[in-house]
Structure 1
Amino acid sequence: MMEGEQTEIRVTTFPSAEPLLRLSPSAGQSAAVGYFSEIECVHGERRVNLYCVIDGSLPRDSISMSVQAARQLKLTEYTWLMPAGLSSHRIQFGPLIGILANPQWDKEKRTLKKSKQLESLERLVEMGRMYGAVCFLFSISGVDLRAGTIRGYVQNDGRWHRRVLPMPDVIYDQLVSRKLERDPAVQDKRQALSRRYGRKFFNDGFFDKWQVYEWLQEDLEVRAHVPHTVRHTTIPAAVAFLSSHQTAFLKPLHGSLGLGIARFVKQRDGSFLYELKQNTSYVTRGKAASAKDAVQTFRTRLKNRPYIWQEGLWLATYQNRPVDIRILMQRDHTGNWKRTKMFARVAKSGDFTSNLTGGGDAMPVDDALLECLPKVEQRTKAKGQIRRLSHKIAEAIEKQSGRTFGELGIDLGLDLTGKVWVIEVNSKPRKAPSTEKGRKDLVDLSFERPIRYAIYLAKSTS
């Protein structure tokens, strides 16, 4: 082993009143230590200084430490090889990356319960293993800030194990439940974690649509691509907004998958046709005699939840179906923003939102643009705008929010002239571990990049 090398080692323990660490000769050479030299052992936020003993009987992939030190580092329950980095007078186990989600333990089967998200989380854990990190899943309820520990779930040989772990080096937020997000107990602990970790807690929380609108308004270049938007305040203000636009959308402030969105289209006689996306498979349609009547139809919803009103645009369509462009922007192992995936989403017939979970279709951007924009120069200009704007949006969101993000889902639309418009920005872009139509290498890359970014953050000193 060479100094600074990432390797895999097995930790064993022995009883000793002294804080000792036994190393094989090759491990001692990698850590640049001699007999009874001091070495720092790190596992997440836990740090212990030990005195080294070089032991020629130890295998190359093993170290042995006094049991008290192993307990302090929360290493006693590991019975398998762990990734570790050996450098001058230092051994770092991991790095240790906590993935915040909502895992549920099945006591009878002694494993995690299956869920819609678990397969994706397992793929992230697998990526961590591939790149020399220990990734574990945890829920907010498992965090003990006073003790500096987390009750989490680690995987080995395809089996899940419950473990009490140190606070990790980095936290990657993959909690996708807005209901849990609004729980006061969750909010308090999340805020405490945010203060504790700073930029090493990334993709912290959800966005609300008005917040995103305000952030994007601060960037002059991006602002020109954002539709006119207002926050719902009063019925008269909503009537005035609806009256002044040919098409308008009503969107819940905290929503996803296109659910709860309504579209209003003004008719020549001043009446309005409206459509409401109530669930992933059903759209309610109706007609109101005036803007006032249209708003009154939604008055109960407007009382119960916060909403925004947004100008509707005459967007390009594919086979008379709404189409938008989804871009997955992610940071890579150098910390720089990169576009991982980009594809067109086409709404199913009769729907006005293009979410894939609602039956929409995914297709290559070039195929969609070929029909949406007939002129070559329009398509070339639009693709240039998409590339440039997606980077600018990611930078603007991070700058204005003061938070750290490793990935963002950005939805863009095209009008009939080829101008690009911002539809939505999502802090929890959905990643499926398999694909039927897309490229497998890009699917893999979408799971690789956030983990390698987490490793980058773990090694960062700031």
Structure 2
Amino acid sequence: MKNTVMVKELHGETMTVKLPPQLFRTSLGGIGFGTMQLHCSITVHSDNSDVLYMSSDIISELNLPLHRTLHYFIHHDIFHIGPLIGIFTAGFTDSLLRPIGERSLFFAKLLSTEKSVGVCAFVFGAHLINWDEGTVTGYFYNEKEGWTKQNIPLPNVIYDRLPNRRTENHSGIKSIKHRLQSEYLIPWYNPGFFSKWDLYQQLIQDKHLNKYLPETLYQPSFKDIEQMVKKHKHVYIKPANGSLGLGIYQVVMSDEGTYYCRYKDGEENRLQKFSSLKKLISYLFRHKNLDQYLVQQGIDLIRYENRAVDFRIHTNRDENGTWRMTALAAKIAGRGSVTTHLNNGGMIKTLEELFPAKETYEQLNSSLQNTVLQFSQAISERTNGCIGEIGFDIGLDREGHIWLFEANSKPGRSIFSHPKLRMQDRLTRELSMSFAIYLTRLELERQEVHYK
């Protein structure tokens, strides 16, 4: 890895750091880890290695985990090592075996990439911040020891992995987020769940991208739905801030003028017939309000074994801040299902499995990649906060036209259950960590300009 050092303990000296000759600067007078900085003696060693030696008192003061390869950043007279990444979430338990409940495995897999990326990462929550000391009690993970807790400086960067909108909108969480960003100048990435409607309004104005967007209306009246069904013959009514395909209704008008609705009721997929659209809406929304729904143009998707197919595509920004397509899979709807989600009986295929002809595969892969990278750039420029990863739900109609159905700032990872997507699984996790390197460098440079 470029711009990295291996951190080892220096015996027999105090408040001293020894650097490789190629990294030594006479102006250096301190070491930084996370948001903590210590003034110390910085000298040079002659090991002809990329090792940084640090006296035990500095290690203790910084609470620095040893024997790690970390990136370095030289700004002002401080030699910073890291980045130290705090993964912010909620839902902690009292168990050190599963400290974040059912999501512990996800976080363990995420933290397992830190060595290959060259970062130091931990998981924390609002209740674990020690404001008076400027530290946090973080959960660390490694395969040998499992989960451990350790006091650590506040991080260089915070990666937002809050589990849901309700937690995200809690006033206490908002207050903590504001304090960490304003008082400690800590960059915070992937800060919130996207609003489907807000995102649609922003993207529909882009003349290069609006051709990929199905017609969509928010808070539709009955007349709006009626006009959409007459125009497209097929629409989806979905929660404006829903997830996992829950609460979606597919409405189809037949040539005879009757209406069919497909939806999930508990664990069952249902298909019901109505003599009029009015009866359909009255029945399905008898206990609900359309104020929190969208109506979206239905698309005649390509099919596999007579089942609808769409695509889940992940994009991530790397340590240079550049967007990359990191994973692509086809999702095939379950029998009688309104969506392609696995929990509705769907299944996952790779693009090669779906399109074995090399030329067809390469052409479609390139088209999908170009499309999602354009959207990734546009979304990151148009939304508040710093976006480092996006999961797209993309459709392909029978005419070969690409459609964007949804973009998710905290995408699910069900596609990675496919054995041929293990490399993509790891890549998405690695780049979600690598992006912190870019943000740390950017923030230090910003502080340097402000300092001068």
TM over 0.5: yes
Alignment CA distance shift 1:52-1:399 (3 Å)? closer
Q: Secondary structure at the match of 2:214?
A: coil
Deviation digits for residues 69-89 of structure 1, max 9, x if unmatched?
954x4x2xx574454556775
**RMSD after superposition:** 3.5
Structure 1: runs of 5+ lacking an equivalent:
15-19
Alignment CA distance shift 1:354-1:456 (3 Å)? same
**CA shift at 1:227, angstroms?**
0.6
**CA shift at 1:287, angstroms?**
2.5
**CA shift at 1:102, angstroms?**
2.8
**CA shift at 1:430, angstroms?**
2.5
Residue from 79, 83, 86 that aligns with 1:95: 83
Residue matched to 1:276 = 263
Alignment CA distance shift 1:105-1:53 (3 Å)? farther
Structure 2 residue 263 is matched with structure 1 residue 264: no
Residue matched to 2:198 = 211
Deviation digits for residues 88-135 of structure 1, max 9, x if unmatched?
75443422011122362435xx44436443222112212112332110
Task: For 2:110 and 2:426, locate their aligned partners in 1 and report how far apart those are by CA, in whole Å.
Answer: 10
Whichever residue aligns with residue 171 of structure 1, its letter is I
Task: For 1:425 and 1:406, locate their aligned partners in 2 and report how far apart those are by CA, in whole Å.
Answer: 13
Task: For 1:5 and 1:218, locate their aligned partners in 2 and report how far apart those are by CA, in whole Å.
Answer: 43
TM-score, scaled relative to structure 2: 0.84
Alignment CA distance shift 1:241-1:346 (3 Å)? same
Residue matched to 2:6 = 7
Answer whether contact 1:32 1:87 (CA < 8 A) is retained: no
Structure 2: runs of 5+ lacking an equivalent:
447-452
Structure 2 residue 31 is matched with structure 1 residue 41: yes
Alignment CA distance shift 1:38-1:247 (3 Å)? closer
Matches within 5 A, 1:21-420: 21-23=15-17, 26-27=18-19, 29=21, 32=24, 39-51=29-41, 62-64=53-55, 70-71=60-61, 73=62, 75=63, 80-84=66-70, 90-102=78-90, 104-106=92-94, 110-113=96-99, 115-143=101-129, 148-156=134-142, 157-193=144-180, 200-279=187-266, 281-300=267-286, 302-303=288-289, 306-369=292-355, 382-420=364-402
Task: For 2:374 and 2:221, locate their aligned partners in 1 and report how far apart those are by CA, in whole Å.
Answer: 33
Alignment CA distance shift 1:278-1:397 (3 Å)? farther
Structure 1 vs Structure 2: percent identity of aligned residues? Answer: 24
Alignment CA distance shift 1:364-1:144 (3 Å)? same
Answer whether contact 2:136 2:153 (CA < 8 A) is retained: yes
Structure 2 residue 428 is matched with structure 1 residue 446: yes
Whichever residue aligns with residue 42 of structure 1, its letter is G
Answer whether contact 1:283 1:351 (CA < 8 A) is retained: yes
Alignment CA distance shift 1:328-1:433 (3 Å)? closer
Whichever residue aligns with residue 6 of structure 1, its letter is V
Q: Secondary structure at the match of 2:426?
A: helix
Alignment CA distance shift 1:81-1:103 (3 Å)? farther
TM-score, scaled relative to structure 1: 0.82
Alignment CA distance shift 1:12-1:385 (3 Å)? same
Answer whether contact 1:329 1:408 (CA < 8 A) is retained: yes
Deviation digits for residues 14-39 of structure 1, max 9, x if unmatched?
9xxxxx6134xx548566378xx862
Q: Secondary structure at the match of 2:209?
A: helix
**CA shift at 1:163, angstroms?**
2.8
Task: For 1:111 and 1:91, locate their aligned partners in 2 and report how far apart those are by CA, in whole Å.
Answer: 36
Task: For 1:434 and 1:386, locate their aligned partners in 2 and report how far apart those are by CA, in whole Å.
Answer: 19
**CA shift at 1:178, angstroms?**
3.2
Task: For 1:10 and 1:204, locate their aligned partners in 2 and report how far apart those are by CA, in whole Å.
Answer: 36
**CA shift at 1:352, angstroms?**
2.5
**CA shift at 1:367, angstroms?**
3.6
Whichever residue aligns with residue 63 of structure 1, its letter is M
